[in-house]
Structure 1
């Protein structure tokens, strides 16, 4: 008899403005993702006040089983960082949903920044928008064998969608490998955008695959990140012209244009119910793999 598959463990926290209202992002997460959550049957690791809000909205049944961490001010977020890096399956999390309000000061506290960085380092999804959390839950639920949880095509008609492809210098070759491996999916997007050198490299890849003329403008390149390319893409995100951002970050180097990187992430969090960011190599590869399965089911 094969061993039982371990239950997925998801860390969960939401900034205060995403907790209290009946239509808050936290409430929408559980209502929009209800069927995916039921299919996955995960265990939740929830920071104090967020769990209080879940109870107050009558959503407890979708958040069981769960482990309660202290309030953020009492170290709950710090404990969540520790569980990201822990290799013990009984004291770790597989993914983090952190619904971030970009104007909440706590979103730039050291523990909040460390949480995202450690997720990238350890290849664990860091889901900071409502859209990213809902799409991740829906795609991951495919691994349970479920197809009844699928949404009514929110953003899955790729012929009407755009994607941004960005990679730091040390990650550009990994971006090219991912793009080549999943070229068929990326080629279905109506528009592809990239910053500077990444865009040029991706167009060279497309020319090799599709031919010189057909691949020449496969990606629309903007300025490099340090010269303002991140800001150019952020504007399209705010205008809801780019839903998905594949941003391969190198968390091990100091970045002089850190503010520009945060600006792009802030733009996605401003339109939390629309845009999503994938920031690590393993997560990007898995996301595109599951996206391929999801698109096949849409056509079936």
Structure 2
């Protein structure tokens, strides 16, 4: 089965960056055919440790979450994996909340923990998210 190329955002709070690296290493072959985006440090770590091609935005506190949110509002993002740390206050919490809200508004699949991220990536490899490609084409 041919997998349609998707735009995938990868974001991880500081306490979750190691999990993101483990996830991207484990699912490297699932991610490789797609266009990957990430916030600053997360993207840098993914590139260094996996060799995947990742377009880097600014770090989250410096507007990276908002840059990804803009892509979502333009219907140019198909999936978001945001490994967030719910136990540590974030200085840019309003941006985090806005990003999650945008995923809901635009029906973008969103994982905020490693378990859901794995399910989305496995579904992606099976073509379960192909409806995003159809929806993206209809709206644009």
Shorter-chain TM-score tier: 0.7 to 0.9
**Please, what is the CA RMSD of the aligned residues?**
2.0
Partner of 1:280: 113
Partner of 1:158: 4
Trace 1:1-300 onto structure 2 (pairs within 5 A). 157-159=3-5, 161-189=6-34, 191-207=35-51, 215=52, 218-272=53-107, 275-292=108-125, 294-295=126-127
Paired residue total: 128
Deviations 1:28-78 (A, max 9, x none): xxxxxxxxxxxxxxxxxxxxxxxxxxxxxxxxxxxxxxxxxxxxxxxxxxx
Structure 2: gaps of 5 or more residues: 131-140
Q: TM-score w.r.t. structure 1 length?
A: 0.40
Distance 1:239 1:157, change over 3 A: farther
CA separation in 1, counterparts of 2:3 and 2:119?
19
Partner of 1:101: none
Distance 1:277 1:194, change over 3 A: same
Name the SS of the counterpart of 2:82 in structure 1.
strand
Higher relative contact order, structure no. (Cα contacts within 8 Å, ≥ 6 residues apart): 2
Q: TM-score w.r.t. structure 2 length?
A: 0.83
Alpha-carbon deviation of 1:287?
2.7
Name the SS of the counterpart of 1:241 in structure 2.
coil
Bigger Cα Rg: 1
Name the SS of the counterpart of 2:41 in structure 1.
helix
CA separation in 2, counterparts of 1:157 and 1:239?
23
Deviations 1:121-172 (A, max 9, x none): xxxxxxxxxxxxxxxxxxxxxxxxxxxxxxxxxxx8432x200000000000
Name the SS of the counterpart of 1:158 in structure 2.
coil
Structure 1: gaps of 5 or more residues: 1-155, 208-214
- Check the 8 A contact 2:24/2:50 in 1, yes or no: no
